[in-house]
């Protein structure tokens, strides 16, 4: 049973590491960014509402995300564990998640903070070439991260759930550190 939350700035390697770890552990990788990008590609109501926020590097409003997460965590494949990537992104989302996990009796094992310096982040993101990876948007995403998501580090540290991993190392080294964390 693996239940993890991945925290870290955009470009820290959360998506890549969360995906590999989810395959290793046989639990779903739940990325709100992937879900939203699929909704945009599909042209669904959710996608239409989320699109402009995403291309500006802003968070989409909580009301679009909270129901989505509640429903996703109720799916059959999520009953044996999950890895959350990109959620929660602010304190209200983290409080919502804590209550939800209590209601469904699914305590989180660890919150993993992938720690990476700013210069490394900007270089990595410029290399990645995703649609919202233009430099001005990257800078805004970093600002949004600092203002809204970074406070979650303290939120989870004070609950003794936080584990920090150096995300500036190579992909394989980070992967090994993560495996060590989850195998206790
Ligand atoms: P990500 O792939 O996690 O970097 O997410 C890409 C974009 O999707 C973000 O810049 C936000 O616009 C949006 N997004 C993803 N997850 C969330 C979330 N939990 N809350 C609000 N917006 C989100």
Tokens representing residue 118 in the block: 């700013």
Say what the pTM is: 0.95
pLDDT, tens digit, for every residue of 5-42? 999 998 899 999 999 999 999 999 999 999 999 999 99
Q: 12: domain range? A: 2-183
179 and 83 Cβ atoms separated by less than 8 Å = no
Of 32, 46, 47, 125, which is best to mutate to test ligand 1, by the most ligand atoms within 8 angstroms of its C-beta? 32
Q: 13-26 burial string, b = 16+ CB within 10 Å, else e? A: bbbebbebbbeebe
CA count, 13 A, side-chain hemisphere, 159: 15
pLDDT, tens digit, for every residue of 61-78? 999 999 999 999 999 999
Report how far apart, in Å, the C-alpha atoms of 87 and of each of 4, 23, 54 are.
11, 19, 15
Of 54, 143, 149, which is best to mutate to test ligand 1, by the most ligand atoms within 8 angstroms of its C-beta? 54
pLDDT, tens digit, for every residue of 128-157? 878 788 888 888 999 999 999 999 999 999
Domain with residue 179: its CATH number is 3.40.50.300
Structurally, how many domains does the chain consist of? 1
């Amino acid at each position: 049973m693996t239940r993890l939350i991945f925290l870290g700035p955009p470009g820290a390697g959360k998506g890549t590491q969360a995906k590999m770890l989810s395959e290793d552990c046989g639990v779903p990788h739940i990325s709100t960014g992937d879900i939203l990008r699929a909704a945009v590609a599909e042209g669904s109501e959710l996608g239409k509402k989320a699109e402009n926020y995403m291309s500006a590097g802003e968070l989409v409003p909580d009301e679009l995300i909270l129901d989505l997460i509640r429903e996703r965590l109720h799916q059959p494949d999520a009953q044996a564990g999950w890895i959350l990537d990109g959620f929660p992104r602010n304190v209200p989302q983290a409080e919502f998640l804590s209550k939800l996990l209590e209601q469904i009796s699914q305590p989180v094992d660890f919150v993993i903070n992938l720690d990476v310096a700013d210069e490394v982040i900007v270089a990595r993101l410029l290399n990645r070439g995703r649609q919202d990876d233009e430099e001005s948007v990257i800078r805004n995403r970093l600002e949004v991260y600092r203002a809204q998501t970074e406070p979650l580090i303290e939120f989870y540290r004070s609950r003794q759930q936080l584990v920090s991993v150096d995300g500036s190392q190579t992909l394989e080294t980070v992967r090994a550190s993560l495996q060590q964390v989850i195998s206790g």
